[in-house]
Structure 1
């Protein structure tokens, strides 16, 4: 995605800001010190949430309604799991796959349908395609079909749903997904994205401690997920819990917390 310029508050009528769908991805791995998550710091120049610690993701693009060739749940199953109609659910899942590719370089494809050298996908092969998808020259669906690839949407695990309160110049109905990364994944996420000025693997407790010292700024959804991850014994244990997909309309930032998972 391209950089957005700063918008001054007087340019925005807060009550008229539409709520757009979005997808956010938590890339997770087990480490000797516990669960780690790939987090980013959004560039201060961003219109929405500039300077905050967050996770990769972004708004649903019209191109995301172009169905992906995928090996995973169908539209009806995603509709049930996300609580929205099938076309909307499929677009949200497509956005998650696309944003993961654009912002981290992680191409979620079925192992049987991958551009591969020496048993693993070669990142140099898809770099030009990543740029074309990011610049909206082609859709994610076109990129996959042109390369005979199949998105492995079965790796996505729905976690939660948050709605931006009234006030910011942009509002989102954001669906959070978790993805477990293992030693079988040939590449690390790279965070090479113009929307970030820093990125890397984080220990949730470290981020919570830094937030308590006011060293980093965490929006309520990010804080809630860090709290959950800090209490998790493993990535698999975290992802296997029943998600709470009732939308959290966080009208009181810093006071409302996401309802807990049910075991």
Structure 2
């Protein structure tokens, strides 16, 4: 598990401009697995973000978003000393309900009507702690498996320090539905099929999503993915730019579980902001 603190007192510097970086916004993302009997690869739940969103507009990403103060407060109330880690886990669960209508890592009455009530309440501003108290829900935070953590060294208007978690959800009866605010479509598909759709121009994926999908495409089941994280525990991934003989590449470190660690800069231009640095997140 990565417990490094990116919010140190000394400001980080932009890798390109040398200017001070803005304080990263804590964020959390959940890779929801659904093993497919008879299939060589599990399905993953992807959401396609609205074109009106400031971050990753129109891109296919994993469900997730920023960690709210209420998430940190809930983690503290539950007795977790590492409230940054467990606040992020709480946020991942909350965002999954908000964005997809699926409740994971929750023990209690999870019939469709109850989950819809919780989703509507979250959209109306009710915090998850109050919903759990009202519905007698208990969060099973240990079910979330840390997968990775990304934070770019580029001074965007919004820089996200994003923790990625995995969880298995084999309830095939649970219907994921769009929230019609932040996303306009969602779909299940194995990691390689999403990569193939992106290659064909059918969906848009940004640099972190592509690297994570390539890593996830190695696994034939959720259990295989969990075993992989034991060999390659979650660490902070901070992309960097390298000038090579064949051009400029955006790179991530070797030896942390990713089968592909670089991509030609021109191939990732759609994932960049006007300032020239890569957008970060889901």
| Fold equivalence (TM over 0.5) | yes
What is the CA–CA distance in structure 2 between the aligned matches of 1:58 and 1:234, rounded to whole Å? 25
- Measured after TM superposition, the shift of residue 179 of structure 1 is 0.8
- Measured after TM superposition, the shift of residue 106 of structure 1 is 1.9
RCO higher in structure (CA 8 A, sep ≥6): 1
Contact 1:69/1:145 (<8 A) preserved: no
Contact 1:66/1:139 (<8 A) preserved: no
> Please, which runs of 5 or more residues in structure 1 have no aligned partner?
1-13, 77-85, 116-120
Contact 1:108/1:153 (<8 A) preserved: no
What SS does the corresponding residue of 2:149 show, helix, strand or coil?
A: strand
- Measured after TM superposition, the shift of residue 109 of structure 1 is 4.9
> Please, which runs of 5 or more residues in structure 2 have no aligned partner?
1-18, 242-247, 259-282
Question: Per-residue CA shift, 1:212-236, capped at 9, x if unaligned?
Answer: 3444322222111211222212111
Which residue in the other structure is 1:54 paired with? 61
CA separation of 1:237 and 1:250: change in aligned 2, threshold 3 A: same
Which residue in the other structure is 2:177 paired with? 190
What is the CA–CA distance in structure 2 between the aligned matches of 1:50 and 1:215, rounded to whole Å? 15
TM normalised by structure 1 equals 0.77
CA-atom RMSD in angstroms: 2.7
Question: Per-residue CA shift, 1:83-113, capped at 9, x if unaligned?
Answer: xxx12122111111111111122223554xx
How many residue pairs get matched?
A: 229
Which residue in the other structure is 1:248 paired with? 237
* 2:144 pairs with 1:156: yes
CA separation of 1:68 and 1:149: change in aligned 2, threshold 3 A: farther
What is the CA–CA distance in structure 1 between the aligned matches of 2:105 and 2:202, rounded to whole Å? 37
Which residue in the other structure is 2:270 paired with? none
TM normalised by structure 2 equals 0.72
Contact 1:48/1:169 (<8 A) preserved: no
In the alignment, which of 44, 51, 62 is matched to residue 44 of structure 1?
Answer: 51
Which residue in the other structure is 2:161 paired with? 173
Contact 1:35/1:229 (<8 A) preserved: no
Contact 1:69/1:150 (<8 A) preserved: no
